[in-house]
Structure 1
C-alpha cells in the first residue's frame, strides 16, 4: 500500500487452504490464473476488490462496482500523526454502492509503541463492530519507506511491537486485525515469526503471475493484492472466497 511518500513493495503469496476463519469451514480456494504484473486481471474464482488512499482522492465508486469491485479497504491513519483527509469520503463512497469496506493503518514502529498506534487507528476510522458491514481493520506492516527496512528493530522487538498493536486492537474491537505484509519483509524483520497466523488473517502483497510462498506461519491467505494497475482505482485485490464468505469475514 502507500505511505505518505512511498508505495508498498510487492511480496509473496501462497496456495489457499481450508480457511479456519470461515465459520463454516468452507473452501475458499482459487487458482492464480494468468494475471501478469500490471494487468490487474482478477485471479480465477476470486472476488475483486480494491484499496485506496489519499493518492486516489476522487474515486468513481459506481464505476468501480460496475467493474467488479465488491470490497474496498481505505487508508485511515499512519503512525500517530497522520489522518487521511480522504478517508471519510472514500469509506462512505464505498458503502453507498454496496461494497463491504474497511480501514487500514500504515505502521511506523520506530515512532511510537504498537498500543499507541492501535488506539490512534481505532479512534480515527479503524474501529470494527459486528453488524456494521465493515471489514476488520488492517495493520499495514512492511518495508520502511523513510529509513532502515526494519525500522531499527530486531526480530524480537518487531514481534513485540506487532503483538502490542494486535492485542490492543482486539481489546478495543473484539477482533484481531488483518496483517498486510510481504513474505520477504516478514521473514526478515520478524525472524520468520509464525505466532500471528492463528489469530490474524493475512493480506499478502505480491505482484506476479503466481501465488508463491506465504510468510512464516500462515497456511493460507484471505486477500491477495496482485497488482497496482488495472480496471479499479488503487491496489487491485482478490478476496479468497465468494460473496457469502466475504460477508462472513466482515462479521
Structure 2
C-alpha cells in the first residue's frame, strides 16, 4: 500500500491511502463484516417483540436494490436506516429510491455512513456524508445520521489504527456532524469490534445513541459507556426488505429520537 499523506485527528496522526479502494461498497451493508468475523448465533424468540415496547425496523444498502416499501410497511416495519456513503468516494446508487421511497411509504428513515478511517479525517467524511444525503431535519420522521464502525473489509480489522487514533477519528466525525446538523450521530458497532479497536472506550456513551449489532437470541454485553442500546440489529440477513432491527422503545420514543 502506498502512503501519500498523514491524517491528523486532534494531536493524533495516522497515514492515509493514496488511492482508496471501494470494491464491493455497493453490496456492503451494515453488519456484513460483523457477521463475517463474529458469526451468527441465532435470533431472538418471537416473544422478544412486544407491541408498544419495541418497534420493528430495517436497514438497507445497495445490496437490496430498489425496495418495495409499501410491502415492507405492510409487514410491520416502522423505520429504516439507509446506506448513503462510504469514505469520501462512494455514494449508493440506490440511496434516493430507498431513502425517499421509505419516507413516502410513511416510515421514519435515517441515513448511515460506512466509516473508513484509513482514507481521510473523520470531519472530512462527516461533511461528505451530509453533502450526499446524510443530513437531518426536525420533521419528526428523519433519524440522526449513523456512523457504521465495523471491521475493515479491505484488511486489518481496525484499519491499522491504534485505539487512540480510532477514538479520535470517531470524535472528529461526531463533532463535525453535530456542527453541520445540530445532532450527534448514532454509532453503529458490535461490542467485540468496539473492545478490539477502541480499547472499549466509554467516552461516547453519554453523547451518541448506540445502534448495536448482535446476531444472537440476547443482546449480551454492551460497549463501555452505554447503559442501553437505542437500536438492536438482531439479524443480518442481507435479503429484502433488509436487515432486522428492534428500536428499544415505543413509537412515541422513536418519534422523539427523530424530532430531537
Whole-angstrom CA distance in 1 between matches of 2:47 and 2:77: 10
What 5-or-longer segments of structure 2 have no aligned partner?
Answer: 1-23
The structure whose residues are more often strand, as a share, is: 2
> Residues 33-182 of structure 1 correspond to what in structure 2 (within 5 A)?
37=42, 43-45=48-50, 46-131=54-139, 133-182=141-190
Q: What RMSD, in angstroms, separates the aligned Cα atoms of the two structures?
A: 2.1
- Which sits farther off after the overlay, 113-122 or 232-241? 232-241
Note if contact 1:38-1:228 (Cα within 8 Å) is conserved in structure 2.
Answer: no
What 5-or-longer segments of structure 1 have no aligned partner?
Answer: 13-35
Higher relative contact order, chain-length normalized (CA < 8 Å, sep 6+) = 1
Normalised TM-score (structure 2): 0.82
Whole-angstrom CA distance in 1 between matches of 2:248 and 2:236: 18
Note if contact 1:166-1:176 (Cα within 8 Å) is conserved in structure 2.
Answer: yes
**Deviation digits for residues 121-172 of structure 1 (CA, Å, limit 9, x no counterpart):** 0000000121262000000011101111000110100000000000000000
Whole-angstrom CA distance in 2 between matches of 1:40 and 1:128: 34
The structure whose residues are more often helix, as a share, is: 2
Change (3 A) 1:213 1:38: closer
Whole-angstrom CA distance in 1 between matches of 2:122 and 2:163: 15
